[in-house]
Structure 1
Amino acid sequence: MMKAIVMGSMLFWGGVSMANQSLHKNRLFILSGQSNMARLNPDDTFTPTLQKAFPNDHVVVIKDAQGGQPISRWTKPSASSEGNLQSKVGDLYDRLLSTVKVSSADGHFDTVTFVWMQGESDANKRQGEQYESKLRAVIGQLKQDMQRDDLYVIVGRISDFGFKRQDKKSDWEKVRNAQVHIAETDNHATWVDTDDLNGGMDRLHYTDEGYKTLGERFAQAAITLIKKNGS
């Protein structure tokens, strides 16, 4: 039986005590990003798909997302060049890590998976050129703070929404290409497509069914990575 604790925009899904799960594996899934992650409800398809794939394991899902935010809100100051946002650089990462530490206090996780859905804000602000280095910094910082070189990473590639605007198409492509490149150059990472989730009008946000499909795609991608690596 899963339970939910809601704290502002942060959601924590836990299960039974780890003390009662010593014979099974403990699996942590960390979801973060901006509005298209904030609008995804893990209870719809993400968590159920994981529970079906790992019926005997303890699955913990944490989601901490906030709409309309650039990636600089998750990067530490050294990885950001946006001087006007220095007071907020890295603050959402700190908030996420704080929540993760609460969930990790009871014991060891056999696998940790980071699911990322963000990038529209950076593409809109024409920050595509710096996106890859910043996302690598976020992933690297999380690996370091979690002490997990074996961190699994699932990246949701932003949709084709921005292709409708010629003045933003170039940066939109740069962000998408960066997300794919990061995923395809790491044996513990992969990416999922979202181009078909925003309806016939190609909106920025996805349809209700689109979010359910996205949750299932994220879960299936994580399951494939974990099983491929024998974890």
Structure 2
Amino acid sequence: MIKLFYLLFFICIISGCASTHNSAKHVFILSGQSNMVGLDVDTFFTPRIIEAFGADNTIVVKDAKGGQPIRRWDKNWQPSLNNVSKNYQAKNNGDLYQRLIAKVELAIKDEQIASLTFLWMQGERDAREQHGHLYQQSFLNIVEQLKRDQGQEKMNVVIGRLSDFDLANNKYKHWTLVRDAQVQLTKQLDNAAWVNTDDLNDGLNRQGKVINNDLHYSQQGYQLFGKRLADAAIALLNE
């Protein structure tokens, strides 16, 4: 019996059944500006992901900063000659991406990656600065950066499309341009999807104030946003 026990134990070690720690993980990276900042991933995103794939099989990393243009993630962003933001400084290109990657690399250290999913909610600042015509290429640059840095040939992408806040382009002149670019990106990329946010910016915000067609989402809106992101990510992985 003792010899049989050690034989089975040795076989289990060889086959890898003795530990689940080394099993490949599904990695979910969330980033963007204020509406991503407002999302409580631990409450409204991660539980849904864990339900689908298991806590031992998932890694969720979020790093976002409000009011930031896409160039803070795109290392190679260049303004058009006739539209240079007063606040543009090339030295800031990609600095938030580097911050994000540092956080990701810490979370996945010594882990094998089964899949990589990038979830993005950003674009309001670029719409306001009228850089919508540069948005699509900038996001493609970020996707390539992530795939290269993580050594992944494939990556799923989920984009939160800009809401109906300024469909007339009154305050943010490139609102619909960025919004349309986000939809086009999901058609251009493999394994990509966008989620609707048009109904998330009405009701009571987290301070209890009534909002209507606001730039930011309501308290319930953020809850729905997290669930929609998770459901879209799960659907892509199950395809």
- The alignment's TM-score, normalised by the length of structure 2, stands at 0.82
CA drift at 1:179:
0.6
**SS at 1:43 equivalent:** helix
**SS at 1:149 equivalent:** coil
Which one of 191, 199, 221 corresponds to residue 210 of structure 1?
221
Cα deviation digits, residues 153-208 of structure 1 (max 9, x gap): 10100111122543535x11110111111112223111101000000610000011
Equivalence for 1:185: 188
Structure 2 spans left out of the alignment, 5+ residues: 1-17, 204-211
Equivalence for 1:194: 197
Cα deviation digits, residues 107-148 of structure 1 (max 9, x gap): 211011100000000001111111111111111111111111
**SS at 2:39 equivalent:** coil
CA drift at 1:23:
7.5
CA drift at 1:25:
4.2
CA drift at 1:57:
4.5
Q: Does 1:151 align with 2:155?
A: yes
Letter in 2 for 1:140: E
Cα deviation digits, residues 70-113 of structure 1 (max 9, x gap): 0010011x332257321211100011111111112122110111
Equivalence for 2:15: none
Equivalence for 1:130: 134
CA contact (8 A) 1:124 1:172 kept: yes
CA contact (8 A) 1:33 1:65 kept: yes
Higher mean displacement: 64-73 or 52-61: 52-61
Matches within 5 A, 1:1-231: 20-22=19-21, 24-55=23-54, 57-76=56-75, 78-81=76-79, 84-163=88-167, 165-166=169-170, 168-169=172-173, 171-199=174-202, 201-228=212-239
Higher mean displacement: 182-191 or 149-158: 182-191
Counterparts of 1:145 and 1:34, CA distance in 2: 22
**SS at 1:195 equivalent:** coil
Letter in 2 for 1:67: G
CA drift at 1:225:
0.3
**SS at 1:168 equivalent:** coil
Counterparts of 2:177 and 2:56, CA distance in 1: 38
- The alignment's TM-score, normalised by the length of structure 1, stands at 0.84
CA contact (8 A) 1:24 1:56 kept: no
Equivalence for 2:3: none
Structure 1 spans left out of the alignment, 5+ residues: 1-18
Letter in 2 for 1:37: M
Higher mean displacement: 30-39 or 51-60: 51-60
Counterparts of 1:65 and 1:163, CA distance in 2: 25
Give % identity. Answer: 42
Cα root mean square deviation, aligned: 1.8
Letter in 1 for 2:69: P
**SS at 1:162 equivalent:** coil
Aligned residues: 208
